Chains A and B, each alone.
Chain A
Amino acid sequence: MEQRGSSILQNIDWFTVILYLVLVTLGWINIFSASYSPDNISFSLATRYGRQMMWIGAAVLIAITMLLIDSKFYSTFAEIIYVTLMVTLLGVLLFGSTVNGAKSWIVIGPVQVQPAEFAKIAASLTLAKYMSRYHFKPDGFKSMMIVCCICFLPSVFILLQNDTGSALVFAALMIAYFREGMKPLIFVLGLLMALLFLLSLLYEMHVIIIVIEVLAFGAFYVFRDKPKELGIGILAVIVGTAAAYAVCQWLVPDWPKYVPLLFGFGIAIPFFLAYTYRHRLGKIAAIIGIAVASIGFAFSVGYFFDNVLAPHQRARINHLLGIEVDLQGAGYNVNQSMIAIGSGGFSGKGYLQGTQTKFKFVPEQSTDFIFCTIGEEWGFVGSTVLLLLFLTLLVRLLILAERQKSKFSRIYGYCVASIFFFHIVVNIGMTIGLMPVIGIPLPFFSYGGSSLWGFTMLLFIFLKLDCNRMELIT
């Protein structure tokens, strides 16, 4: 029997550890640049870089602690950790402190902690435990529901805390589910929903209904090559729509344009259903179902957009989609951020030489918009190196996950990779104008203790599991 300490030193994946240290160090260097004042360089805890240094120290201690805890602990106590965090999230919702409009902080003396950062770990562990069960059927409806519950319960709490960014992160865990055998159909449906979401924001409702109808008839043709029946169906819908249009014009001319379309479609549905029932055509029935669901979804997107999202969130999405261009308002951050990054050029202005970020043109420059500092001071070369470093980390995590003997460790590894992936893609995407402005931190780079500790825990729990990769952890 080996000493535990030496076995950790021998088995730990040094490649990832070194990558971690490199990223954290680079992160601190950039926070220094984003928050120092050029004339008064003193090292104190009053400065952001001073405090970040303290938090990095604490993060290293956390990492070591994670490695010393027995790897069976994580699987055994997964649910308990999960429940505890859910209770904490609820507690924060009721008694938490509000910072920047999000009621998601616990303040204990000088320390502010955001439990949402740790909820990701809890959800990952629990998901790994649930999906690694012997009887888990990845394509079963019940398992799908449970997986979604585990992922989206914390998401709902965090959404209620008004912290949209952290709530969306949990969607990334679907990647781990996909790896474990999620039905491709769900994936396709997910893509369809995303597409519909965008379309329904960009186009008027009647256009969307027509598109859905055309697609449905197209699918009909693919599955049942009977042009005559198809023709009758199309005719029925057109006649129904025209009749409804005439009646609407006569009765209430100021109704929106989509109303007759809905009527026409609605009148045709019973006939289609009778037809599919007579010929026993399950697939056609499914197509009708999907078409109806899509129209319902498009309507609920409109409702969600107008009634659930806060005005600033609406404005950000509108800006991203190019519906409204408002460089002074919602687009201000993104525009300033792109100017900062663009001004970096090929090789950057040099460390500490950034002007855009120094003069507080970019808000939140040491937290959510830290990538601007990198883009401005290190240029295209530096940004690319950073993106490649992140890609290396992600791929390394996938390789580590695939070499696990136990399913639990593998799934957890995928969860870790997915969460990192989501943060990196959304955060950097927002600074370069490819994603809406969603306030989530860039791992190891954004200023703040909670996020750094959260990412460190997430990663080092996996590295600990990886140390015992030949064991079966259930």
Chain B
Amino acid sequence: MIQGIPLEHFLIVSTLMFFIGVCGFIIRRNLITMLMAIELILNSVNINFVVFNRYLYPDQLQGQFFSLFIVGIAAAEASVAIALIINIYRKLQNIDVENVNEMKY
């Protein structure tokens, strides 16, 4: 049990994870790394769900189930994203996001 650890600590961790993910998404050029950044963002959200569920409504389970859904969706999303990345690699011989810029004005 997580006796003695206050709520704020979890929130600080999840906030840090979220912004690390956002920064990674914006800064890194490698598509795989960007995908990992997205996973960080999703997992920070998962932590929030589980923690709030535990601290606010200990006898209910919605938050935990929600985080399970997010894990599932994240897996599906990762498979689609990796398929896209492989196709991009086949076409451009690299996976730098700056080269994927055909959709513009």
Task: Specify whether A and B are partners.
Answer: no
Binding site for A on B (CB under 8 A): none
